[in-house]
Structure 1
Amino acid sequence: MRALILAACFWLAVAPLHAGELEDRKAISDQIAADLERSDFAAIEKRYAQALAGETRLASGIFVANRIARTLLSGVWKAAPTGVKLAHGQDELWNPVEEKLQRWAAQFPRSALPAIALSNAYTAHGWAYRGNGMADTVAKEDWVKLEHYLGKAQEALVSRREAGEKDPNWWREMIEMARVRGWPGEQFNAVSVKAMDAFPGHYDIYFEIGLALLPKWGGSMEQVAAFMDDAVRRTRQTEGESLYGRIYWSLTGNMTEREKRHPLLPWSKVRAGLNDVVQRYPDSWNMNSFARMACEAGDKPTAFSLLARIEGSVVEPAWHSRAQLQRCRNWAAE
């Protein structure tokens, strides 16, 4: 049923929506936010358990359970109201969030979901002390605070290991923890392989591993390319070539322009993967995103074909701007 495939991202809530993927995201976003606001943890647990058990998907092919978790990890934690100046470290913002999530965890001691959310809150609290400046601008005491909260974040996850090992989003969060804490290669590889073996079809696990392998996190494009090829080999029987395209898509916001065009990530393989995605899940969100990436890659025939398919069903949030969409249209029509 439609009601079972609704999921969300808060940043999309104010965007013009085309029926399908983005409306579904907003519906779950609104529902989870309302449940959390009134501390109705039982309702969230029920929705999440149903999504996990049924492995229901959005129109784009993304799992509903992943979207529920992402809503908790990114959308619910709103920034301070406009014009309100928070103290360094933002304790007044994060302490109440952490206390609420601790109550949730106490009420559901065998659930991984509150631990996932609490871990993320601790991580965000730590980064509020560290800030977004260059490493050499961060005070020593703020590094100590960051490490303190990252330790609490990891402890929250490990405390629910028994339940977590049955939850793909717990594994994704563990891989993120390995990335941000700089686990040694062997330790990182071990948790990554366990996660992929436990949930070979859950995309977010692969997205997080790919992110950790980027040069900005101490990896290399050679590692990224080898991983993407391995991910396709692991999933070809059920996903075809699509995971190559999905992983690339997930990384584009964290890659430099040079990295996006690295010879070890040939557009021909990305295109084949994305083409598989839209064949399996021909949602407007997927086709708009594919069209954008085709334009960015300079693939005029593919861009022209996709733009024709999405005529009348443009999803603006899939594009960086209306101007980019128009430039793409003009270029493809030349």
Structure 2
Amino acid sequence: DVSDNGISGVAKEWLKANPKSTGARLLQAMVFDAKAVNLRGEGAASTVDSDIWPKYKKLMIQEKEYLLKNKDIADKDVTWYQEMEMVARNLEDKELLYSTLEEASKKYPAYQNIYIEAMVARLPKWGGSPEEVEKIARMAAEKNKDQSGLSYYAYIWSNAIHYQPELMALLNKRQIVSWDDMLQGWRDRYKQFPSTRTLNNILISSCIARDKDSFVKADKMIQGETERDTWPQGLNYRECQQSFQ
């Protein structure tokens, strides 16, 4: 509900009570986004009436201006950068997206979502390219290599494949994305955060890359604790397991 009885009203009342509140101002920024989504709908761009787009763009510009006016939030809350990246994506402003990511990665290098938001914006289906996904994944890994090795590289590419399953073909053919670095990234992540979720990701990536050795090793470690929701569309654990037998 984006009316005064819903999120918009909550933001107004909160701001009235505490005009300098970081949370209240971020919520107000999100109101513009909520109104834009409500206006556009969830369907493909081709299903949106042409007269909707100018109104949609106007709301995005209003959110951009509001965020810039309240940029002091960025020193306290990384969400400011995520919101601005989302605005950049919706305005198809590549320059704004990358400048926001660059600044955010200096202040909050370990915060994964700043890279995820940028990666989603530059997926091929949104007008980006696999090369841009690779660029963002490399940037994330470089910013965090001392603490996390190549963990961020694997994480960004794994999410890219979930958002756009067609990208699996690149890993399968060893094009653009580096399988060696992705596998090392998952191993680095498992050292930091040993979990069945990471083992599932090793299984998924190994299946796509057709790496029997890494699949079998992870399969022994996971002991049947597969998580269906982790697997991308078109990929099945049992089928992968059988394909390596």
TM-score, length basis structure 1: 0.64
Give ranges in structure 1 of 5+ residues lacking alignment: 1-92
1:142 maps onto 2:52 in alignment: yes
Q: Which residue of 1 is the match for residue 64 of structure 2?
A: 154
Q: Deviations over 1:85-140 (max 9, x none)?
A: xxxxxxxx221122123323444433333333443343232123223445454323
Q: For 2:225, give the aligned amino acid.
A: S
Corresponding residue to 1:230 among 139, 155, 162: 139
Give CA-to-partner distance per residue, 1:66-103, whole Å, 9 cap, x none: xxxxxxxxxxxxxxxxxxxxxxxxxxx22112212332
**Counterpart position of 1:209:** 118
1:94 aligns with 2:2: yes
1:102 and 1:155 map into 2 onto residues whose CA distance is: 18
- The answer as to whether partners of 2:84 and 2:97 remain within 8 angstroms in 1 is no
Match of 1:249 in 2: 158
Task: Give the Cα separation in 1 of the matches to 2:155 and 2:93.
Answer: 25
2:38 matches 1:128:
yes
> What residue in structure 1 maps to residue 188 of structure 2?
276
Decide whether the 8 Å contact of 2:140 with 2:152 is kept in 1.
Answer: yes
1:297 aligns with 2:209: yes
C-alpha RMSD of the superposition: 2.6
Matched residues in 1 for 2:114 and 2:53: separation? Answer: 28
User: Does the 8 A contact of 1:111 with 1:160 survive in 2?
Assistant: no
Shift of 1:258: 4.2
Counterpart-to-counterpart distance in 2, 1:200 and 1:194: 9
Deviations 1:178-203 (A, max 9, x none): 11112252x33322211111111111
What residue in structure 1 maps to residue 200 of structure 2?
288
- Do 2:199 and 2:218's aligned partners in 1 also have CA atoms closer than 8 Å? yes
- Secondary structure of the equivalent of 2:51? helix
Q: What is the distance in 2 between the residues matched to 1:260 and 1:105?
A: 48
Pair 1:330–1:256, CA change in 2 (3 A): closer
Asked if 1 retains the 8 angstrom alpha-carbon contact of 2:165 and 2:232, the reply is no
* 1:282 Cα deviation after fit: 0.5
Which residue of 1 is the match for residue 149 of structure 2?
Answer: 240
Q: Displacement, 1:159?
A: 4.1
Tell me which residue corresponds to 1:181: 91
* 1:42-61 CA distance string (max 9 Å, x none): xxxxxxxxxxxxxxxxxxxx
Which is further off, 102-111 or 266-275?
102-111
2:106 counterpart (197, 219, 222): 197
Q: How many residues align?
A: 240
- The match for 1:330 is 242
Moved >4 Å (runs of 4+)? none
- Identity level (%): 23
Structure 2, unaligned runs of 5 or more: none
Q: Secondary structure in 2 aligned to 1:243?
A: helix
